[in-house]
Structures are given as structure tokens and as C-alpha cells.
């Protein structure tokens, strides 16, 4: 018996353009048109966001402040103001809800919208996306880009095509040719390491990927193999979930100087656990799995985890587990970053399923 075809949806992925940096340039006209990085400019600082002027010099988010300054000597660093970013993000989300309640935020600056059925009664997702981007500009003074297609995966990929301040629609008949022509590095979920592995296997485009069997891809990429097999065929049935569940809560710190002693690390971990406890209490959640993240001076990352039989949120319990994890094995190198996260949370009962049920329309 053949499986019934899934209803065709209209999904928009809205992504703000260089959001943190753009907010800083909006609030400080003197910074407009200049290469700007939000984050630490000191030796151990990290770039949280870069303006488009800075990106021309190769400055990117998650890059060290030292390297960013080396690439762009006249780069201006400003400290992040997350309260301000959240304030503007709330205004943007309010605009989304003028069109649909099926809004799934991914972060402060991007979200999926299911507009298959929408509050404006507009059959064109393309026109809705353009209208939303114009409303964001009018309300906040900031620009946004958008991708429009039949599922979240393609919409996400498409939103990056005409950045900044643009949009791209991939209509239903265009989906398969679009995916076949797509460079493998542009596939959402395919990172740098996987891209290199695919190159070694002769996979450079979606067309190359489509020629591989699901067995072949599973053999080389594990569980992700089936995902790659389906998305290149336009199959991605994940729904837009307005009540997206928090999977983990974590805090991490990068240090001005590398740490070589567990004693000094425990002192820092106490402070990190304090911050984590505050966040957990604010969200009124607890978890069972405690993870210690260690980034070494050579930038390799190691995680060590322990799952408890009961939910915890108190710092005293978290730090006891962290001590155990820290001394679990010897450190490889000096340490530049430590982090603690809590997963396997007790908020899963709050998950709500949202089902979109509309058939085919013109885009």
C-alpha cells in the first residue's frame, strides 16, 4: 500500500541581516558603514557577530578577536548588549504573529513561519515574506532576508541566497533542480568536516549526493546518511513548532589565560555553576544529564557527561558531578574554555504538536 502524500506547505525562513552588528550600527550612527565586530577584541576575545563591512575582510562569528583584528586592523569592537537585542527581537516576533501563530524561533534573529493558512488570507507566501521584511524595516529600522519553499530545509537554504536584504522563493516545480545544483557545502546540516568527507567521496553537488544509495550514505555518515538521502529529494517533513522545547541549558566561559591546574579550573567552574543555577531557576526547569565541556589550547573540544536517576538544578549537586567529571581523566593540554550544561530536562511534558493541513497552492 502506497504512503499517502504529505500536504504541501508554505514555509518562510526569516533571517535578520548581521543582527547584533546591525543593531549597534542602528543605535550609533557613527558606526554605520564601518567594519564592526560585536564581542571581545582582547587576545582571548571571541567575535559574536560581524557587520557586512567586516565580513569583506574575512571576519566571521566565532573567530578569535586576535585573528579578526589581524585580518582587519581598523576593525571596531563593541561589547554585546543582549537586553537590547532581545527587545528588538520581541518586536520582530510580534510582526510574525500578525501573519501566523505557527512561528518557530531558532534564535533572537531567525525563525520559521508556516503561512500555508495565514491571518491575512494571502495565498502567496512570496508576497507575505516581502511584506514581513518591509514591516520589520519600518518598525525596527533593520533589514531581513527570507527563504520561501515547501519545507523548512529548503527555506533555510534559500534565505542565504540573496543576503543581505533580499529573498528567494523555491517553487514546488523548482525544488529538485534547485537541490541538484546546490553545492554540497550549502546543504543545511553539512558542516566543514562533512563537506571535506563528501568531497573525498566525489560528492560535490546535490546531484552527486542523489546518485548515492541510502545504504552507501548510512555506511559513510551513520544516522545522518538517511537525512542526506531524503533532503536531497526534497523530503523533509519536520513541522513548524511554535512551542519549541528547550533541550539543554548551558553556560561557558573563555579565559584570558590558559588554565593548567584543576584547582584553578574548579574555582572557575563554581562561578559557571552559579550562573547555570540562576538560569535554571529562572526557567523553572531541572535536568538529569550534566555535561562538562573542555576546550584546550589547541582548540580541540572534549565533553564528559553523567546522567543521574533524578532531576537536579541546585549548584551544589551540579558541582559535585562536575568535580567527578573533571578528575575522570587527565587533561591533554592547558585549557582555554570551560562550560557546564544540563540536558534530559523535565520540560518535555510541555511539548505541543502543531499540524499543518492545507494542500497545494501557487507560491
Question: Which cell is 147 given?
Answer: 527563504
Query: Residues 291, 292, 293, CA angle at the centre, nearest 5°?
Result: 115
Could you write out the three-class secondary structure of 301-317?
EEEEEEEEEEEECCHHH
Placement of cell 497552492 in the chain:
361
Check: CB of residue 11 under 8 Å from CB of residue 118.
no
> How buried is residue 127: exposed, middle or buried, by Cβ count under 10 Å (0-12/13-18/19+)?
middle
98 an active-site residue?
no
Q: Which residue in the block uniquely carries the three cell numbers 586576535?
A: 66
Q: Which of 24, 53, 110, 277 is catalytic?
A: 110
- As a whole number of angstroms, the distance between CA 80 and CA 88 comes to 14
90 Cβ neighbours under 8 A, 6+ residues apart: none
* Interacting residues of 92 by C-beta distance below 8 A, sequence separation 6+: 14, 16, 136, 139, 140, 144
* 331: Cβ contacts below 8 Å, ≥ 6 apart: 260, 262, 294, 296
Active-site residue set:
110
Amino acid at each position: 500500500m502506497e504512503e499517502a502524500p504529505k500536504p504541501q506547505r508554505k514555509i518562510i525562513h526569516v533571517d535578520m541581516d548581521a543582527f547584533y552588528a546591525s543593531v549597534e550600527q542602528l543605535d550609533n550612527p557613527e558606526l554605520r558603514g564601518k567594519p564592526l565586530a560585536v564581542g571581545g577584541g582582547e587576545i582571548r576575545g571571541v567575535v559574536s557577530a560581524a557587520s557586512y563591512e567586516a565580513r569583506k575582510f574575512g571576519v566571521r562569528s566565532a573567530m578569535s578577536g586576535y585573528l579578526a583584528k589581524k585580518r582587519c586592523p581598523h576593525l571596531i569592537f563593541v561589547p554585546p548588549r543582549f537586553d537590547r537585542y532581545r527587545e528588538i527581537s520581541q518586536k520582530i516576533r510580534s510582526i510574525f504573529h500578525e501573519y501566523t501563530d505557527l512561528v518557530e524561533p531558532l534564535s533572537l534573529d531567525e525563525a520559521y513561519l508556516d503561512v500555508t493558512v495565514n491571518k491575512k488570507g494571502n495565498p502567496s507566501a512570496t508576497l507575505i515574506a516581502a511584506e514581513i521584511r518591509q514591516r520589520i524595516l519600518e518598525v525596527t529600522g533593520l533589514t531581513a532576508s527570507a527563504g520561501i519553499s515547501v519545507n523548512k530545509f529548503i527555506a533555510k537554504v534559500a534565505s542565504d541566497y540573496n543576503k543581505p536584504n533580499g529573498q528567494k522563493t523555491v517553487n514546488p516545480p523548482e525544488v529538485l533542480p534547485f537541490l541538484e545544483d546546490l553545492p554540497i557545502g550549502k546543504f543545511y546540516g553539512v558542516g566543514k568536516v562533512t563537506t571535506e568527507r563528501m568531497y573525498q567521496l566525489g560528492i560535490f553537488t546535490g546531484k552527486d549526493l542523489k546518485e548515492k544509495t541510502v545504504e552507501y550514505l548510512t555506511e559513510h555518515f551513520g544516522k545522518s546518511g538517511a537525512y542526506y538521502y531524503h533532503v536531497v529529494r526534497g523530503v523533509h517533513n519536520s513541522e513548524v513548532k511554535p512551542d519549541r522545547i528547550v533541550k539543554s541549558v548551558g553556560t561557558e566561559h573563555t579565559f584570558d589565560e590558559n588554565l593548567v591546574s584543576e584547582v584553578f579550573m574548579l574555582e572557575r567552574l563554581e562561578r559557571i555553576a552559579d550562573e547555570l543555577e540562576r538560569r535554571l531557576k529562572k526557567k523553572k526547569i531541572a535536568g538529569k544529564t550534566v555535561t562538562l565541556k573542555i576546550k584546550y589550547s589547541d582548540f580541540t573540544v572534549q565533553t564528559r557527561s553523567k546522567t543521574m536517576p533524578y532531576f537536579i538544578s541546585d549548584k551544589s549537586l551540579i558541582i559535585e558531578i562536575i568535580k567527578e567529571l573533571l578528575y575522570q581523566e587527565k587533561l591533554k593540554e592547558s585549557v582555554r574554555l570551560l562550560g557546564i550544561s544540563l540536558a534530559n530536562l523535565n520540560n518535555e511534558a510541555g511539548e505541543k504538536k502543531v499540524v499543518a493541513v492545507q494542500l497545494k497552492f501557487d507560491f
